[in-house]
Amino acid sequence: MSVKELFPTPVWVIDLQSEVYRPLNAALLASIEALISPRPPIPIGSTWQSDPVLHRLDRFAEITAIIREAVRGIIAFLELEAGAFEITGCWANINPTGGLNSSHCHPNNFLSGVYYVAVPKGSGRIEFADPRPQAAVIFPPVKRWNRFNGNKLLIDAEEGRLILFPAWLSHSVPVNRSHQERVSLSFNVMFSSFTEAMSKPLWQGTAPVRKAEPT
């Protein structure tokens, strides 16, 4: 008997080496603090997000380059004749104790992703939901979960971890149960031929990014 895995939904996980991500994350934390300064209080259970323009700022050039290299690898993996692409939005997320992100997707983009900057122990993971709602019509008990009988994928949030996935794939971040802030960068990617009108974020962060650098 052979098994055909029809229409798989890929999620790509890239773990940077410690000698790369430790200094990178320290610089990112300092840059995010500079954007939010003077720092407003972030209430327990809420989320602070910057404007989605960090990919345009020089201080985020290193992580932007890493994201672009990852996207080039994905395009090669998928064997696409996609042409040029661009990051259409990149923003910082700060989740204090009790902070979470409800299930959502990122319309009008091809790929989305997250990079973890600070992940205190117990601060959570990212959850991807089965995109086939009809798959849960019959859901018998299982002996052991696997990719054929499960209805969600859970990936631990770890510092230096970069995760990319189809932008249409619903995902969420559970409650931060630690006593420290969870900090990450999120981003979207789209082919340049599509981006002029449709792919730019239609929202602003909790507070506008100040001291913007030249694009």
Q: What is the pLDDT of residue 204?
A: 80
Span 206-210, average pLDDT: 67
Query: What pTM does this model have?
Result: 0.89
Is 2 within a domain? Answer: no
Is 82 within a domain? Answer: yes
Is 139 within a domain? Answer: no
pLDDT digit string (tens) for 22-64? 999 999 999 999 988 888 788 877 888 999 999 999 999 999 9
Instruction: Find the domain containing 119 and state its range.
Output: 12-133+146-194
Q: Count how many domains the chain has.
A: 1
Mean pLDDT (the chain) is 91
Residue 88: give its domain's CATH number: 2.60.120.620
Is 175 within a domain? Answer: yes
Is 207 within a domain? Answer: no
Q: What is the pLDDT of residue 215?
A: 45
How would you label 13-35 residue by residue, b for 16+ Cβ within 10 Å and e otherwise?
ebebeeeebeebbeebeebbeeb
Is 206 within a domain? Answer: no
- How many whole angstroms separate alpha carbon 113 and alpha carbon 135? 25
Is 37 within a domain? Answer: yes
Crossing angle for the helix pair 18-36 and 61-78, to the nearest 10 degrees: 120
3-7, 153-157, 195-199, 211-215: which has the minimum mean pLDDT?
Answer: 211-215
